[in-house]
Amino acid sequence: MILKQHLLFALYSLCGILLKAAATKNKVRGSQSQFPIVHNVTVTEGGTANMTCRVEHNDNTSLQWSNPAQQTLFFGDKKALRDNRIELVRASWQELTISISEVTLQDEGLYTCSLFTMPIKTAKAYLTVLEGRIHKGVPEMPEIDGLTKPVKEGDHVTLTCITSGSKPAAEIRWFRNEKEIKGAKEVNASGKTFTVKSSVQLQVDRDDDGVAYTCRVDHVALALSPQQATEVLEVHYAPRVEITHSAVHPQEGDYLKLECVSKGNPSPDPVLWTKDGSELPDIDRMIVEGRELTITSLNKTDNGTYRCEASNHLGTSSAEYVLYVYDPNALEQRGPDHALIGGVVAVVVFVTLCLIIVLGRYLARHKGTYLTNEAKGADDAPDADTAIINADGNHAHAEEKKEYFI
């Protein structure tokens, strides 16, 4: 247009000729722009293909995309074929763009864009689908087989993780939550690629309820993004019951709360409270709310054995609590008596031990002295008394006596 303006200003005398030539050129271009413009598309198997059809100038004429089987996919912004993979991206008088997700080899072929003028003008684009990564040795997304939900406590379960299409053979690792566990591996060749299986055997218990078992596929082609599959165990088990209470020495007038703590799957709800093998007394002071039994003001009539029972389809469990309501006055009197008795017993034991030690030392000392003195005069004395006298200092007399006999 700039060139035309310069020519108009420079060669005013040729204006008519130039205007006529410009009009002729626009007429030809407008005729050509009524044909739709498309481009061939190449996509990898499993990817998404965007098919675009444009016209430069459109006098409010509808555009349409058709597949290789000549089935209409979209007419303007109206979807014609029921295929959830095919979606509308953009629709206007100048453009119709659609997307085909999760493309398969069967989607390959010649697609047609039609402009509904008189006569209808068409353009064709070829969709080329490349073989997917399974044919390049990259393992498929793993799957876990062998689990039925729910399982019962004590059941034996074998989980098997399978991945196909790897080259070289992929590695499979198992995890119980975040902790790695060992599995049994099996590799089978299928053409130029490998199918890899790994299994773990479990005997499930209640601790496995809610545990995630994950198999992860490691491969050289998945260095940055390993593939994995996860199954969460749901374990059904019979209930276990215990009773918690709010008082150590319940007294008359106190508030007491008993809670029946039951763990089972399915949840054993509600629970059953009884007293001494019968239903609870129908009194306002006893309130049952869910798993809790509350006695607002205790008295002696509340004494007895309280039992909580919980059940599900796998079994029944129960727990008991023996309630004895103390007299507050008796507890106050009994406290000092116990302390006094304990102190007296401690003193008596200490004194007894001291006497035993002193007496033992005295007897040991005098016994040794007696034996020594008796031995000193035993050779010359006719009896023990004479031997002791000789040992106490009669040595001179003993010498004289000895010389006399010689």
Task: List, for residues 104-120, the tens digit of each pLDDT value.
Answer: 889 999 999 999 888 88
Q: What is the pLDDT of residue 79?
A: 92
Helix/strand/coil percent split, the chain, to 5: 30, 40, 30
- Collapsing DSSP to helix, strand or coil, 287 comes out as strand
Q: Has residue 144 got a pLDDT over 80? A: yes
Q: Has residue 365 got a pLDDT over 50? A: yes
CA torsion sign for 63, 67, 69, 73 is: negative
In a domain, 334, yes or no: no
Q: Has residue 4 got a pLDDT over 50? A: no
In a domain, 64, yes or no: yes
Tell which residue, 267, 268, 261, 263, has the closest CA to residue 311.
268
Q: Has residue 260 got a pLDDT over 50? A: yes
Q: What mean pLDDT comes out for the span 367-392?
A: 54
What's 301's DSSP letter? G
Q: Which of 131, 155, 185 is the last residue of a domain?
A: 131
- What is the enclosing helix (H) or strand (E) of 194? strand 193-203
Q: What mean pLDDT comes out for the span 178-201?
A: 91
In a domain, 259, yes or no: yes
Q: What is the pLDDT of residue 366?
A: 66
On whether both 296 and 353 belong to a single domain, the answer is: no
Least confident residue range of 170-179, 316-325, 357-366: 357-366
Percent of the chain exceeding pLDDT 90 equals 50
Residue with the larger pLDDT of the pair 275 and 366: 275
On whether both 39 and 125 belong to a single domain, the answer is: yes
β-pairing, 179-181 vs 227-232, is: unpaired
On whether both 242 and 219 belong to a single domain, the answer is: no
- Collapsing DSSP to helix, strand or coil, 11 comes out as coil
Least confident residue range of 273-277, 348-352, 386-390: 386-390
Q: What is the pLDDT of residue 269?
A: 79
Q: What is the pLDDT of residue 12?
A: 39
Q: Which of 233, 250, 274 is the last residue of a domain?
A: 233
On whether both 55 and 43 belong to a single domain, the answer is: yes
On whether both 283 and 298 belong to a single domain, the answer is: yes
Q: What is the pLDDT of residue 201?
A: 95
Q: What is the pLDDT of residue 301?
A: 92
Q: What is the pLDDT of residue 224?
A: 66
In a domain, 120, yes or no: yes
* pLDDT tens by residue, 233-249: 999 999 999 999 988 88
Q: What mean pLDDT comes out for the span 143-167?
A: 91
What's 77's DSSP letter? T
At 211, is the pLDDT very low, low, confident or very high (cuts 50, 70, 90)? very high
Q: Which of 103, 131, 159 is the last residue of a domain?
A: 131
Q: What is the CATH number of the domain that holds 153?
A: 2.60.40.10
On whether both 247 and 285 belong to a single domain, the answer is: yes
Per-residue burial over 257-294, b = 16 or more CB atoms within 10 Å of its CB, e = otherwise = ebbbebbbbeebeebbbbbeeeebeeeeebeeeebebe
Q: What total of structural domains would you count in the chain?
A: 5
Residue 369 domain boundaries: 341-406
β-pairing, 49-54 vs 95-100, is: antiparallel
Q: With beta carbons less than 8 A apart as the criterion, state whether 327 and 252 touch.
A: yes
Q: Has residue 334 got a pLDDT over 80? A: no
Q: Enter the pTM of the model.
A: 0.47
